[in-house]
Amino acid sequence: MYLLPGIKQRLKIASSIIFVRPAATDKFGADYEILLLKRNPNLNAFAGFYAFPGGNQDNPGDTFENWKANYPEFSGHEHLGFSSDFSKRIAAIRESFEEINFLLADGDTSGADLRDQYTSKHKSDFLSFCKEKQLLPCISKLKAYTRIAGPINLYPVFDTQFYFYFLDKDHDMQLSMNNAEFTDAKWLSIP
């Protein structure tokens, strides 16, 4: 988080993934769809709004230096040039896993209870979870799109990096939502 000059609130750093999948061409000519999730109406912030999977970059251990030091098998990503936004990429992948049970990682991601194992044993320590399960988050598969900050007179104020992730046409994305955060999912075509 960053302290905004002259304002007694902090700018929260966040990241989101815009999931894109191929679709049959619709009446507007669109041949792809994007995933939107409806936030739980009982939440304090943005209740009932539609959003992309993602969230705060709130884990101080999600730095490139920490992953490199504690998970040497993962340090091969260094040459790909993602060290500048590494924490945002890890946060986006972690949040998507927590929210919709989609884990963008190389390794064995099968098992219906993988997210439950993560939340019960690792308590948001994504690095130790990945290391134990020998999973390598696929940060290079996220395509940076844009960065948007909200108006500073509304709270909370987010500085969010958005990434695209393109699903293969043969990939059947099975959503398992964290109902504490989201209550519905829609794939929408954008003309």
Site of tokens 């020998």: 134
**Which residues form the domain of 143?**
2-189
- Return the CATH number at 177: 3.90.79.10
Q: What's the structural domain count of the chain?
A: 1
- Identify the weakest region by mean pLDDT among 42-51, 119-128, 148-157: 148-157
Q: pLDDT tens for residues 5-45?
A: 555 556 788 999 999 998 877 777 778 899 999 999 998 87
Other CB atoms within 10 A of residue 144 CB: 14
- Tell me the whole-structure pTM to 2 decimals: 0.86
Q: pLDDT tens for residues 58-109?
A: 777 788 888 888 888 776 655 456 777 889 999 999 999 999 999 999 888 8
Q: Report in angstroms the alpha-carbon separations of 169 from 33, 52, 130.
A: 11, 20, 27
In 77-141, which ranges are E strands?
105-106, 136-137
